[in-house]
Amino acid sequence: QGEAGAVFQQLESSGIVTRPFENEGIRVTIGTPDENDRFLDAIGSR
C-alpha cells in the first residue's frame, strides 16, 4: 500500500476525500479556501 495509501487512509479518516493511484500517489482536487485549509491541516503542511 505504501506511503500514498497511508496518507489516503489518514485523510479519509479526517473526512477528506482523495483518490489513491497505486504506485503513483494520491489525487487531490482544489476546493474552496476552507477545504484547502482543512486538507493542509490534515497532512501537517501548516
Range of the domain at 33: 2-43
Dihedral of CA atoms 1, 16, 36, 45 in degrees, nearest 10, equals -50
The answer to whether 12 and 22 have CB atoms below 8 angstroms apart is no
pLDDT number for residue 46 = 60
| 1-46 pLDDT, tens digit each | 678 888 888 899 988 988 888 778 888 888 999 999 999 999 887 6
Nearest to 36 by CA among 18, 10, 21, 20: 18
Query: How many structural domains is the chain composed of?
Result: 1
pTM of the model: 0.71
pLDDT number for residue 1 = 63
